[in-house]
Structure 1
Amino acid sequence: MSTTELTKTESTTELTEIVATTQVDNSAEEVVKNCENCHLPLNGPYCANCGQEADSKLKYFWVVIMHLLDDIFSFDSRASRTLWPLIFRPAFLTNEYFAGRRVHYVPPIRLYLFISIVFFITLKYFVGGDNNNVLNINDKKALITEVKDHIKTLKVDQAELENSPEDIAEGQSKTAKLTAEIAKFDSYLNDLNSDYSEGNNKQIIKLTRKLVELEFDKVKEDLPEDEQARFDALIASLLKEKSGESNTKNKKDLTIGNNEDGTMSFDFLSDESNNKLNNFTEELAEKGEKAFNTDTGPLIEQVIGKLPQLMFILLPLFAVLLKIMFIFSKRLYMEHLTVALHSHSFIFIAVLLSEMLDLLEGYLEATSPGLANFTGVIAGGLLIWIPVYLFLMQKKVYKQGYFFTLVKFGIIGTIYSMMLTITAVIAMIWGIMGT
């Protein structure tokens, strides 16, 4: 074989190998780019046959979170073009969505889900902050901690007094008073730590909590005459409870029933169903009484934890209400649902911003009173803006006159307030049964 023929043979072999390799690579590439659902070749980000997206949703969790955060907080994203009109331009987003101009804005359901998640996560902290004084008294654990801290302070004062070079008689008198105070608060601590479910401990704990509240007021200044009389009456009631002279041992503070004996029954239910209902109400009353008289923290967490689920059920019902009230508007149910989603998203974000401004006002009150007052005015203005916004939104979406819009707005507001009340009651019952 000549050199020329040998060279041609080698070139042909190399070309064959390159073609074979290219075919293998192309085959592999075709396998990768086949639709995972119908297995047909893909020519873009979506399958032309079944419509499934080419990009897999099975990714690392943190990758998904980072994409979500980027979509929400990036100023180049749809979120940055959505939040401003959501807060300050009533019905703008809704009308844009109805007109088909949707690509520039966050979809209503995604917008609602994100805002509601943030709102309900932060709600329990704002509720705790707004009702701090009430929770300190209702929360048994917090009260016990406060009593323990006070006992430590008294013991420190007693130790310092014993080491001070004061007059012996005066020092002994002060030491005796501190000893009596320590013994009294030790007794309060024992009462608060007693088992709620045993005997008349429920009433003892209740009286002790009220007494400790007044005791801490006495530490700051002398009680007024009416408060001192109340304090003395509480002491007498507590002594009666401990001695067994009181007749409140089996008394229930909370009862749920429609009969004179405190039971609940309905004529249209069978005896078996009424027995089950009565057993449920008795259990609910017992748990509710314990939750309200001891530690309210778990109850608040339970109730707030149930609200997102209940609100998600309430949304389509609110859309039904809009459908009924605007039945001649010729709008589809999904359009009413879009109004409901945008309305609730606005309410949540407005309340959230108002609570944040209230919190900021509290921090600024001591250092910058003028700025704090300005912040408080903005927070109050946001709450006033809520009904005004919803009224304007209803008028611009359904395009009716001011009079008919106002009448329907009042009716919808009344009915929806009743729906919210029922939702809150269900959340409370659900929360109590979960504690």
Structure 2
Amino acid sequence: MSDKSITKQDNQTLAQENVKTCENCHAPVQGMYCSQCGQSVESTLRYFWSVVLHLLDDIFSFDSRVNRTLIPLLFRPAFLTNEYIAGRRVHYVPPLRLYLFISIVFFLTLKFFAVDESLGAFNVGDSVSSTVKVEQHLSKLQTKKATATPDNQSLITDEIKKFSQYKEDLTKQKSLAIKGLTDKLVQLEFEKLREKDNFSPEKQKNLDNLIENITLFKSGEKNNLSSDKLTFGNNEDGSLSFDFLTPEHNKKVNDFAQLLSKKAEKAFNEDPTPLIKEAIEKLPQLLFILLPLFAGLLKIMFIFSKRLYLEHLTVALHSHSFIFLSILMVELIGFAKFYAAYLPLITHITEFLEIAIVIWIPIYLFIMQKRVYKQGYFFTTIKYAFIGITYMVMIAITATVAFIWGLAST
């Protein structure tokens, strides 16, 4: 027998060994799917961890498609959406997978930036910029002290102690009330340094009142930002009730509202960190519910466009992915700005980038709406404004639900 015939026979044997039988219709299968019934030859009954790893790989394995997806997502409004609707999908990350990945990263980083453990608690108002100003002032005072006369050194030492305490209250203090009051106090202190003898008596009185209030908060003699008590009631006495509920059910609702009021009061005036963490943890689930509602709003607004609901859902997924990615970039730039506060050029560049991204978001969404639905500027503007206002209301309701849900969980 020749070598050729042996090789041919071996190949036939290997081919027969590679032929599998479909578990559903028992037909011979060559490849990954049965040509008779279409069932995959790969069994779904596997070890649990292999299923988990397969799922994670399916979500995060973007391979080379990530470059072809993220750049258009940021800089080419409606390009990805129109490509996906037109059927050109293989080169890009699918909309749902893209949204899941970006939203997971976004909310993880949001939790980190909103509740920075290194700073101790939530940064309110302009407390970050106030902290930078205080640090810069302390650096100048240290330099000034090194060359000052013995008499002036004592005054500078007192100034250093005072601003060191401000820095500690802005960064390490967990009380939201103290952080907010200290931020206002620092702003007045710097006004006093700039104006010197021209600092008005009224401003000096405000400064003294802030110092007194901070002292009262620290001593525990005062535990409210104002005399108004935070309530969730709809009646004059602060209670909550509804006409369609029985007295017994109204009592339960009111008791729950009172409990939330106490928790909210404690969170705002002591340590808001647990509440912020809980609220942020609830947002992804709530926003995921908001997505189909937003797609439904698009369906109603463009009902004569004859587009399928899933096309509107694709618009919603790409829109939210873009918004989350843009806000994530603003967060990262803000983080860089905080740590590069002593480099004026870097600070100006980061501020410009932040403003540019914030301005680009509404412009991008407007262009996206026009390019996807292909309507004139007049109707696009009217519908864009209505959709924007409606969506802001939806976001406000979502944030309120997240806040109440977070309060209930703390």
TM-score, normalising length from structure 2? 0.70
What SS is found at the alignment partner of 2:106? Answer: helix
Native 8 Å contact 2:59 2:97 kept in 1:
no
Letter in 2 for 1:272: E
Closer, same or farther in 2 for the Cα pair 1:269/1:212, shift >3 Å? closer
Counterpart in 2 of 1:226?
206
Native 8 Å contact 2:240 2:253 kept in 1:
yes
- Determine if the alignment matches structure 1 residue 356 to structure 2 residue 343: no
Native 8 Å contact 1:78 1:106 kept in 2:
yes
- Determine if the alignment matches structure 1 residue 420 to structure 2 residue 395: yes
* More displaced 10-residue stretch of structure 1: 232-241 or 334-343: 232-241
Letter in 1 for 2:366: F
Native 8 Å contact 2:121 2:272 kept in 1:
no
- Determine if the alignment matches structure 1 residue 373 to structure 2 residue 348: yes
What SS is found at the alignment partner of 1:105? Answer: coil
- Determine if the alignment matches structure 1 residue 88 to structure 2 residue 75: yes
Closer, same or farther in 2 for the Cα pair 1:212/1:417, shift >3 Å? closer
Tell me by how many angstroms 1:434 deviates.
Answer: 0.4
Counterpart in 1 of 2:95?
108
Native 8 Å contact 2:24 2:39 kept in 1:
yes
Counterpart in 2 of 1:390?
365
Q: C-alpha separation between the residues in 1 aligned to 2:220 and 2:72?
A: 64
Counterpart in 2 of 1:265?
241
- Determine if the alignment matches structure 1 residue 280 to structure 2 residue 256: yes
Letter in 2 for 1:79: V
Native 8 Å contact 1:258 1:265 kept in 2:
yes
Tell me by how many angstroms 1:94 deviates.
Answer: 0.6
Counterpart in 2 of 1:407?
382
Native 8 Å contact 2:60 2:101 kept in 1:
no
Q: Deviations over 1:23-82 (max 9, x none)?
A: 8x988755xx4445665443222333443444456464785488458733x4xx222211
Native 8 Å contact 1:211 1:231 kept in 2:
no
Closer, same or farther in 2 for the Cα pair 1:290/1:35, shift >3 Å? farther
Q: Match for 2:104 among 117, 121, 134?
A: 117
Tell me by how many angstroms 1:421 deviates.
Answer: 0.1
Native 8 Å contact 1:94 1:338 kept in 2:
yes
What SS is found at the alignment partner of 2:29? Answer: coil
Closer, same or farther in 2 for the Cα pair 1:391/1:26, shift >3 Å? closer
Q: C-alpha separation between the residues in 1 aligned to 2:100 and 2:220?
A: 55
Closer, same or farther in 2 for the Cα pair 1:39/1:83, shift >3 Å? farther
Q: C-alpha separation between the residues in 2 aligned to 1:424 and 1:358?
A: 23
Calculate percent identity across the aligned residue pairs.
Answer: 50
Closer, same or farther in 2 for the Cα pair 1:134/1:295, shift >3 Å? closer
What SS is found at the alignment partner of 1:102? Answer: coil
Q: Deviations over 1:129-157 (max 9, x none)?
A: 5995973799xxxxxxxxxxxxxxxxxxx
Superposition pairs for residues 24-423 of structure 1, below 5 Å?
33-35=20-22, 40-55=27-42, 58=46, 60=50, 64=54, 67=57, 71-72=61-62, 74=63, 77-128=64-115, 135=122, 224-232=204-212, 253-366=229-342, 368-423=343-398
Tell me by how many angstroms 1:432 deviates.
Answer: 0.5
Counterpart in 2 of 1:162?
none
Closer, same or farther in 2 for the Cα pair 1:265/1:96, shift >3 Å? same
TM-score, normalising length from structure 1? 0.66
Tell me by how many angstroms 1:259 deviates.
Answer: 1.2
Native 8 Å contact 2:295 2:312 kept in 1:
yes
Unaligned runs of 5+ in 2: 1-8, 126-172, 193-202
Unaligned runs of 5+ in 1: 1-17, 139-191, 194-204, 243-247
- Determine if the alignment matches structure 1 residue 432 to structure 2 residue 407: yes
Q: C-alpha separation between the residues in 1 aligned to 2:114 and 2:403?
A: 15
* More displaced 10-residue stretch of structure 1: 318-327 or 78-87: 78-87
Q: Deviations over 1:146-170 (max 9, x none)?
A: xxxxxxxxxxxxxxxxxxxxxxxxx
Give the number of aligned pairs. Answer: 336
Tell me by how many angstroms 1:312 deviates.
Answer: 0.5
RMSD (Å), alpha carbons: 4.1
What SS is found at the alignment partner of 1:261? Answer: coil
What SS is found at the alignment partner of 2:61? Answer: helix
Q: C-alpha separation between the residues in 1 aligned to 2:78 and 2:353?
A: 22
What SS is found at the alignment partner of 1:114? Answer: helix
Letter in 2 for 1:108: P
Q: C-alpha separation between the residues in 2 aligned to 1:257 and 1:397?
A: 44
Letter in 2 for 1:399: K
Closer, same or farther in 2 for the Cα pair 1:27/1:116, shift >3 Å? same
Q: C-alpha separation between the residues in 1 aligned to 2:237 and 2:341?
A: 52
